[in-house]
Structure 1
């Protein structure tokens, strides 16, 4: 795989992650945390019938648990995206892509998810507030 292909494969998913963070930064707390918990719960079901058979179902159970715990602690939501990343990689290698007509969509998701996980790990701060504080300092 050449460097241009690697860059184009990574730039899109990273940009999507940053766009999601920007949009979610517009949502006030506690709704930001609630919406992110719902996203984690939903992410647990996107691969059902994705080619890994029975092994699809534990993801749903794990993600609902992490979403519930994430209603109180953002670190559980971060963990949810890391767990989802593992499933993304498994689907890229052995299963079906998350978007059937885009063969590298699971790989893209595996690149995007850790971007979201890092943001959530640090408490999902509004990126606009962070930038405003940096400018004021």
Structure 2
């Protein structure tokens, strides 16, 4: 079964537009917890106390993430002040709390340094 919180926006989009309009960041993701510890330290350069978040495996050129300055191997740890533990947390936040055109504030690590960016979400067409 699908929770009504997830189904309602999909039904509304289908009725209004004939297609589903989901917020789109333009990234390919991997939960940090699924990445071997040595890779977290060597490639992602995460601080020892950061063993959560979502690593960006790819950033689509000219996507909202790219335009906000996010890059491959950045690790998102927070969105709009909410801790992001894994890909599931990120998708829940994106699809249940955000709409196309909304701003999204992310905190992330790049080579061990904490950083922030704000994205403006565009539409991802799903048919």
TM-score, normalising length: structure 2: 0.29
Kindly indicate which of the two structures has a greater share of residues assigned to strand: 2
Q: TM-score, normalised by structure 1?
A: 0.27
